[in-house]
Amino acid sequence: MLRRISVFFLLCAILVLTAPASAGKEEAPQDFKSFFSDGNQAMDEGRWNDALESLAKAEEIAGTDKNGRSPAANCQGLVHMKSRQWKEAVPHFERAVNYNPENKVALNNLGLTLMNIHQYGLGDLDNLKRAAESYEKLAALDPDYRAANRELVKKILIEAEALAAKTKAASDDKDLPEGKGYKFWTGQGDEAEGNGQFEKAMKCYAKAEEQSASSKHWAANRQGLCAMKQRDFAGAANQLERATSLVAEPTSKEAIIFNNLGTAYINIYESGTGNLPELENAAKAFKRASELNADDGRFSANLASAEKRIEQEKTWTKTDGEKKKKKKKK
């Protein structure tokens, strides 16, 4: 039975990347404005080190002015977010909130960053809890500001806590039951996976793969989705690559396997553990899914999103390379 996998690359849909300095009673020094502007321009061009340097200088120049320091620190966090350095972004957003506890943009970005650290397999459940806390503080300031993000984090936290509780309560017995047949083993695997017994589930799916010559690719697909649920995206990509290789003549039904493969590669990229090659692999998989089933809009939408990211990544890489060449000539 086909199962859908939730796509984790939520950043593009909900992230606020614009954070201009707030207007206050005291106007920040002109030098602050210059460094702040230069830093944001460098960030837009993908010159991450230049951006961080200018924004750090702006933060320093702002002195005790929270209307300068807080946005400058927030934008340093954004540099790390855009370059997919999630953990490195956290202290900047925390500093921005410490400077100005009413900085709604920084509270939102802190919450999103902590959520993504969990979702991309870079941290544990505590990050989700901290994300929820950030959004509660934001709700206290303005209940309507980024309310959808707050509800999303709350939903993910509830699901993650429920799964953690199931995993803890599940039996430690890893012995496999007696039985045979593809349906038997996939059923056992689905039950184990639902209880958070991922190791047992993977073994059951492997057994299912052994039982059916015609459904090996679906069993491998299940193993890929199980790895994805554990936020092991590299492992998922390996299983899903294997699943696609087991399909001699793919049809529209198998399009979902290629889509799942693309999703795994996208998550490798978004987690910061992959780069342009992973994006290109994702686009290749989404394109194949679209070719096999042109009627499913998810596949074409995922392809368009991946191609847009590839174009942006190439632009950033080119701009950064040209900047470094100019510096060497000087």
pLDDT tens across 37-68, in order?
999 999 999 999 999 999 999 999 999 999 99
pLDDT level of residue 244 (50, 70, 90 thresholds):
very high
**The pLDDT value given to residue 78:** 98
**What's the full length of the chain, in residues?**
330
Name the nearest CA neighbour of 112 among 39, 41, 12: 12
**pLDDT reported for residue 155:** 97
Going by C-beta distance under 8 Å and a sequence separation of 6 or more, which residues neighbour residue 110? 77, 90, 93, 94, 96, 97, 131, 134
Q: Residue 31 pLDDT > 60, yes or no?
A: yes
Q: State the architecture of 16-167 in CATH terms.
A: Alpha Horseshoe (1.25)
Whether residue 187 is predicted with pLDDT greater than 50 in this model: the reply is yes
- The string of pLDDT tens digits covering residues 62-74 is 999 999 999 999 9
Residue whose token pair is 């399009």? 255
As a whole-number percent, the residues of the chain with pLDDT over 70 amount to 86
Give pLDDT, residue 281: 98
Which is higher by pLDDT, 169 or 268? 268
The answer, yes or no, to whether residue 16 has pLDDT greater than 80, is no
Angle at 209 between CA 204 and CA 214, to 5 degrees: 145
Q: What is the mean pLDDT of residues 182-210?
A: 94
The model's confidence at residue 24, banded by pLDDT at 50, 70 and 90, is: very low
Model confidence at 27, pLDDT cuts 50, 70, 90, reads low
Tell whether the model's pLDDT for residue 273 goes beyond 90: yes
Q: Indicate the CATH number for domain 213-320.
A: 1.25.40.10
Contacts of 191 (CB under 8 A, 6+ apart): none
Q: What's the pLDDT score for residue 5?
A: 38
CA dist., res. 83 & res. 172, Å (int): 40
Is residue 12 very low, low, confident or very high in pLDDT (cuts 50, 70, 90)? very low
- pLDDT over 90 at 34, yes or no: yes
Q: Running DSSP on this structure, what letter comes out for residue 195?
A: T
Q: 132 and 107 in contact (C-beta within 8 Å)?
A: no
pLDDT at 299: 97
Q: Provide mean pLDDT across the span 91-115.
A: 98
Among the ranges given (163-167, 183-187, 192-196, 302-306), the one the predictor scored with the smallest mean pLDDT: 163-167
The larger pLDDT score, comparing residue 6 to residue 27, is at 27
Instruction: Supply the pLDDT for residue 171.
Output: 63
pLDDT at 200: 93
- Judged by average pLDDT, the poorest of 125-139, 187-201, 316-330 is 316-330
Q: Look at residue 20 and tell me whether its pLDDT is greater than 70.
A: no
Task: Indicate the residue type of 159.
Answer: E
pLDDT of 25 above 50: no
Hey, is 172 helix, strand or coil? coil
Query: What number is the average pLDDT over the span 81-89?
Result: 97
Six-digit token string for 266: 């996208």
**Ranges of CATH 1.25.40.10 domains, the chain:** 16-167, 213-320
At 127, is the secondary structure helix, strand, or coil?
Answer: helix
pLDDT value of position 8: 39
Contact 58, 73 (CB under 8 A): no
Residue 15's region, left for phi above 0, alpha for psi from -120 to 50, else beta, is beta
C-alpha to C-alpha distance for 195 and 175, rounded to whole angstroms: 15
